[in-house]
Structure 1
Amino acid sequence: MKLILSAIFALTLTACGGGSDGGSSSETTGDLRKTAQAFSTSDIDAITDADLASFGRAVGDSSIVVLTEPSHVVAQVMDLNARLIRYLHENKGFDVLLIESGMFDVANMNELKQNRSMAFTVSAPGRAFYGFSRDAHGQKMFAYVDQTQAGAKPMELAGIDVMMEGVASTGLFVTRLEARLQARNAAVLLDPQWSTFKTIAQRVTTNPEYTDAPADLAVFKRVLELVKTEFCTAPATNQYRFDSDGFWCRAVNSLGGTAGYVWNTPKVLDYNARDHEAGNNALWLLDGPFAGKKAIVLTHALHGFAAGSTLQESTGSVLAKRYGTQIHTTNITASKVNSPDEIVLSGSLEFELDQVGALVYMPYPTDAAVRAEVGKRSIREVNFATQTPNRFGRAYQSLFYVRQINFITPNWTGYPAVY
């Protein structure tokens, strides 16, 4: 995962605003700017519910809101998403938060909360994605979820991702899987290659990105299918906890998704394999443990966009096939990405939004002429790379603009894993 952080920075440094203004009339451009709303403050932490009322109207009756991160480890993005989580919970009835972190590891966070009253802010480091859990900006959402636990509407927390080298995955998965199978007197435990499977499964839990596949990968895949059969045939229980066969069905599928992610193609990450299982984890959570509840999904835009993604099957596209128009997806963009002195040219939507304010919200316009004008503009989307044509209106239905962003460095020692 640390390698991903370097890749994010490399991608971001290539991003730049620019292009011509497309010959638009000043009247239409003015209408475009009128569609956008400047907040009453440039301080994200001071945004009021009144500032977010337009966002609330755009969300409407949606039962799922996908909050995207154009890039991980961005202070302003984490601050804004934490504020949106609070708004959606307090004003729109969203009581479930699904985050881009390992499904198995976040289940362990819930277990520690249940058994040891451990706050999510304490259990998150080493279990939730380090960009969320090992920085003060990312910790804001965990602090809010903790705060809700004593209230009338406690938020529920779950991870949707595959095995992402969390301390629960690496320290507990194989042992607990074997114990669960022993309790069922599972025949797979008698397989002559069970020990080979266990060895490779343990390696998979460490998320071995950019490594060579083991020689016995075919053995791992064969035995994995037998394990899936134990848990995925009419599961007796469907809860997000370790005593649930439904949970273990998704856990072993996540193990296979991680293996596909790191080893489908030599030294190349297969995000389709990962997103297929992450999307199905989200479906299982929404259809089963959290059925009937309104949910927030927090993930990178690469995974969250349902349309126009470079992935054949993103987490967002898996959700869209099931829930369609029940989903509202947001994006966040900025103009000062590479330096405070960066100049963004007039062909970008960021240029227009910067004329409105330093912190701006924009729903996808209802007016056809303004939509056409938006369509002419480049927008910084995945990893803040300029996208032309942009995917506003297809991949996401609303947009937040922040003038200046800053990347953070995770504090590994300040936020240690607690066992």
Structure 2
Amino acid sequence: MPCRFGHQRGRARWASGLLAALLACSTGHAEQADELQRWIEKNAAPLRSIAATDEDFRDLEPLLTAIGPAEVVQLGEPGHGAGNSFAAKVRLIKFLHQRMGFDVLVWESGMHGMRLADAAMRGESDAVSAAQRGIFTIWSNAEEVRPLLEYVKSTQATSRPLQMAGFDLQFTARNALDAFSEDLRAFVSAIHEPTIRSQLQADVDRALATYHRLCCELREARRQHREHLVRLGTSEQVLAERLTAWDKREALALRPTQQDLDAFSSSSDAVLNAIQAHRALFEQAHGAKGTSFMEQALINLRVDAQGKLDIDHGVRGETSARFRNAVAYFNRRDERNAHNLRWLIEQGYPGRKLIVWAHNVHVTRAHFAPGFAAVHVHPRAGDMKPTGAYLSDWFGPKIYTIALTTYRGKDRWVTGDRVIEIPPSEAGSLEARLHALGKPYWFLDLRAAAIGSSHVAGQPLKMRMMTPVPGSNTAAPPHGSYLVEDIRRAFDGVFFIDETTPATPIRAQ
């Protein structure tokens, strides 16, 4: 409740009253802060280890009660280069698999490519090579993730294998588009009715050709031109000048246009409409689940193609700096990814328990102002709605979402050498409060706040929500803290690592 100062007669009495009121306000705020800190001290569970190879899970047992009957556990991360957060997630996944029966690991990686990666885990490929058929390189080439990949591989011959899937609409691995193109052509070629098959093959060829125009022609031409200049022995300074000149002279004709998107949409819609009209023929050839999976993959391709026009290919630098409409791009991707996850939960693996690996900003229930400038648990017009908010709408308490966060440290994507400093979190933030407890790792069940003090249950808190792209110039400071009106409405639990270490690239064998 706000403090009010009554009118006092006389300067001395006024000064005395003012001092008393200020002390009362200060004491009231201190008591509120102390109440919150006392609740955190009472409810935060210290964790012994975040080592990926540590399978003594006794310190993780508080998660048994916190997660309870939830059927999907989402594991966020503070940054895509937070190496020891990756290691902590590996240990958590082993715990969830061995102690709680979660047996499907769903990555923020390509839906189609991850099906290939999962199949490769059951073949002769080594664990890392199998994973790199689908998983984003930021994870599949990280030493901190390698123990998980090897663990997944080791479970395949057991009675309780850990399967893998993906929920991202994008192609997220090398040669993923080529593999999808081959599978799509085989999908329609299996139809026995020759007239329908012939028309479908023509539509598929047009769809793939126009998608390639949208996604790849400019990038491949620029790469080939650069390689040609390098072979000629061009110096770095001259190379940059000639590439800039090439962009101004040649690239314009190769940039995707609305006409390209319209041509792709027409041909891809023809394939989708044929699946709907002749579903019995497709299910005869591929089964109901196989037909539905390819349908989802085609819808992903269609939505992804729309996103290609949001990227200005004439601008270099961080990918997020090139978005013409970053809000539309984020919303389109996260809405489609949510539908992919829903399909995996309801049709891909019905009755199974799933673990989701992604970034905090995708799994949270909170919404974001444009450019990640603020976090809103009560959505506002123009906000960005993440995948986790859709899942919360559809599945409610069946989803348990854990944010991984940090007080300070370093972040580095394994795809580059750039190390990002993470400064200490600001005073009064959730991270600063957990840091004050004096141990390196904590788990805090935020659902438990609902049965605590009414003040704690609705306590506004600042919390780190790093943006996915380090140093993006279209986002708020990537390691800043955001005020969240009610932290329980953003996440169900918090896994705290006091100091983050940067991810380490896998060394060549």
Instruction: Output the TM-score relative to the length of structure 1.
Output: 0.82
Measured against aligned partners, the alpha-carbon deviations of 1:242-269 in whole angstroms (never above 9, x if no partner) come to 9921111011111112112332475425
Residue 318 of structure 1, aligned match among 390, 398, 401: 390
Taking the aligned partners of 1:22 and 1:231, their CA distance within structure 2 comes to 65
Shift in CA distance, 288/341, structure 1 to aligned 2, threshold 3 Å: closer
How far residue 373 of structure 1 moved from its aligned partner, in angstroms, is 7.6
For 2:214 and 2:268, locate their aligned partners in 1 and report how far apart those are by CA, in whole Å.
Answer: 12
Aligned twin of 1:106:
114
Q: Is the 8 A contact 1:21 1:346 kept in 2?
A: no
The change in CA–CA distance for 1:276 and 1:239 in structure 2 (over 3 A counts) is farther
The residue number in structure 1 matching 2:493 is 398
Q: Distance in 2 between matches of 1:292 and 1:190?
A: 36
- Corresponding residue for residue 134 of structure 1: 141
Match of residue 459 from structure 2: 375
Cα 1:198–1:366, aligned 2, differ >3 Å: closer, same or farther? closer
Instruction: Provide the rounded CA distance (Å) in 2 between the counterparts of 1:409 and 1:90.
Output: 27
Q: Does 1:385 align with 2:431?
A: no
1:369-417 deviations in whole A, cap 9, x for unaligned? 3753873431112434311126521121100110111222545x738xx
Moved more, 99-108 or 30-39: 30-39
Match runs of 1:151-166 below 5 Å = 151-166=158-173
Within the candidate set 408, 419, 430, 1:349 is matched to 430
Q: Secondary structure of 1:136's partner?
A: coil
CA contact (8 A) 2:289 2:348 kept: no
Corresponding residue number in structure 1 for 2:367: 308
2:399 maps to 1:327 = yes
Residue ranges of structure 2 left out of the alignment (5+ in a row): 1-25, 220-253, 313-321, 370-382, 411-419, 468-478
Select between 161-170 and 50-59 the one with higher mean Cα deviation.
161-170
- The alpha-carbon deviation at position 347 of structure 1 amounts to 1.4
Bigger CA radius of gyration: 2
Which residue in the other structure is 2:94 paired with?
86
In structure 2, the CA distance between the partners of 1:175 and 1:54, relative to structure 1 (3 Å rule), is same
The residue identity in structure 2 corresponding to 1:202 is H
- Assess if the C-alpha contact under 8 Å between 1:28 and 1:370 holds in 2: no
Residue in 1 that maps onto 2:472: none
**Cα distance change of structure 1 residues 380 and 293 upon mapping to structure 2, 3 Å threshold:** same
Larger mean CA deviation between 59-68 and 122-131 belongs to 122-131
Structure 2 residue 443 is matched with structure 1 residue 361: yes
C-alpha distance in 1, partners of 2:502/2:160?
A: 33
Indicate conservation of the 8 Å contact 2:168/2:340, yes or no: yes
One-letter identity of the residue aligned with 2:508: G
1:213 to 227, 235, 256: 256
Q: 1:117 aligns with which of 95, 108, 124?
A: 124
TM-score normalized with structure 2 length = 0.69
- 1:201 paired residue number: 211
Distance 1:353 1:237, change over 3 A: farther
Structure-1 separation of matches of 2:346 and 2:284: 10
- The structure whose residues are more often helix, as a share, is 2
- Higher RCO by CA contacts (8 Å cutoff, separation 6 or greater): 1
Q: After the TM superposition, which of the residue ranges 330-339 and 89-98 deviates more from structure 2?
A: 330-339
Q: 2:351 aligns with which of 292, 317, 334?
A: 292
The reply to whether residue 262 of structure 1 matches residue 323 of structure 2 is no
Secondary structure class of the residue paired with 2:459: helix
Count of aligned positions: 392
Say whether residues 1:230 and 2:274 are aligned partners: yes
Q: For residue 181 of structure 1, what is the aligned residue in structure 2?
A: 188
Distance 1:342 1:224, change over 3 A: closer
Paired residue secondary structure (2:103) = strand
**CA, structure 1 residues 296+196, in 2 after alignment: closer, same or farther (shift >3 Å)?**
same
**Counterparts of 2:121 and 2:67, CA distance in 1:** 31
Structure 1 counterpart SS, 2:184: helix
> How far is the alpha carbon of 1:111 from its aligned partner?
3.2
In the TM superposition, residue 312 of structure 1 has moved relative to its aligned partner by 4.0
Task: Note the aligned Cα RMSD (angstroms).
Answer: 3.4
Inter-CA distance 373–250: structure 2 relative to 1 (3 Å threshold): closer
Change (3 A) 1:159 1:93: same
Letter in 2 for 1:358: P
Alpha carbons 2:80, 2:138 under 8 Å: kept: yes
* Separation in structure 1 between the aligned mates of residue 85 and residue 285 of structure 2, nearest angstrom: 31
Q: Write out per-residue CA displacement over residues 183-226 of structure 1, whole angstroms, 9 at most, x where no aligned residue.
A: 323364476x76543222235666999x9434421110111111
C-alpha distance in structure 1 between counterparts of 2:117 and 2:367, whole Å: 34
The alpha-carbon deviation at position 119 of structure 1 amounts to: 4.1
Q: Note the C-alpha offset of 1:106.
A: 1.1
Counterparts of 2:67 and 2:146 in 1: how far apart (Å)? Answer: 25
- Structure 1 residues 403, 293: closer, same or farther in 2, change over 3 A? same
Alpha-carbon separation, structure 2, partners of 1:155 and 1:330: 20
Q: Secondary structure at the match of 2:106?
A: strand
Q: 1:314 to 1:207 in 2, by over 3 A?
A: farther
How far the C-alpha of 1:33 sits from its partner, in A, is 1.8
**Counterpart contact for 2:445–2:492, Cα < 8 Å:** yes
Cα distance change, pair 31–182 in 1 and its aligned pair in 2 (3 A): closer
The sequence identity of aligned pairs, in percent, is: 22
**1:89-122: CA deviations, max 9, x gaps?**
11111111111110111111233345x4334432
Q: Secondary structure at the match of 2:208?
A: helix
Letter in 2 for 1:155: L
Q: Do 1:377 and 1:389's aligned partners in 2 also have CA atoms closer than 8 Å?
A: yes
| In structure 2, C-alpha distance between the alignment counterparts of 1:239 and 1:306, rounded to whole Å | 40
Secondary structure of 1:388 counterpart = strand
CA distance 1:106–1:265, shift in 2 (3 Å) = closer
Q: Distance in 1 between matches of 2:299 and 2:28?
A: 48
Q: Check 1:197–1:345 CA distance in 2 against 1; reply closer, same or farther (3 A cut).
A: closer
- Give the 3 Å change call, closer, same or farther, for CA 340–247 of structure 1 in structure 2: closer
In the alignment, the residues of structure 2 paired with residue 349 and residue 272 of structure 1 have an alpha-carbon distance, to the nearest angstrom, of 28
The verdict on how the C-alpha distance between 1:405 and 1:91 changes in structure 2, with shifts beyond 3 A counting, is same
